[in-house]
Amino acid sequence: MPHLLMNLRHVPDDEADEIRDLFESHNVLYYETPPSRWGISMGGFWVHDENEAARARLLLKDYQRQRFQTQREAYENQLARGEAGRGIWSMVRKSPARTLAAVLAILVVAGLSLLPFIHL
């Protein structure tokens, strides 16, 4: 019976590559399903054996703990250097033209959506 180890939805390519390397370096007998054509399923890593699934999950747990720590440190370093920000104001400061265009697009869509209900 197949055991899903990890769904690949919202998984960056570098993380998926690191997980493939992890499984291969520990001789985990896994297989990968590709994403569906219409984007309904994003693929995943699977194994057939229950014991192999337990071993792979332990490896994934350690990997994800380490990745969380390294990504958190990288984010904190970006914040300290001023390269990353929090919230909408950092987005406005980083790219004001793009933010203004997005706000205008939202207002146009909202206006067109509400137009039939507004009697001037």
Gap between the terminal Cα atoms of the chain: 64
Same domain, yes or no: 24 and 72 = yes
**Residue 10: pLDDT over 70:** yes
pLDDT tens-digit series, residues 52-66: 999 999 999 999 999
Same domain, yes or no: 55 and 108 = no
Same domain, yes or no: 69 and 116 = no
d(CA 48, CA 51): 9
pLDDT the model gives residue 119: 72
Same domain, yes or no: 108 and 75 = no
**Residue 120: pLDDT over 70:** no
**Under DSSP, is residue 65 helix (H, G, I), strand (E, B) or coil?**
helix
pTM above 0.85, yes or no: no
pLDDT tens-digit series, residues 71-112: 999 999 988 887 777 777 877 878 889 989 999 999 999 999
Express as a percent the part of the chain with pLDDT over 70.
99
Same domain, yes or no: 52 and 32 = yes
Count of domains for the chain:
2
**Structural domain of 99:** 86-120
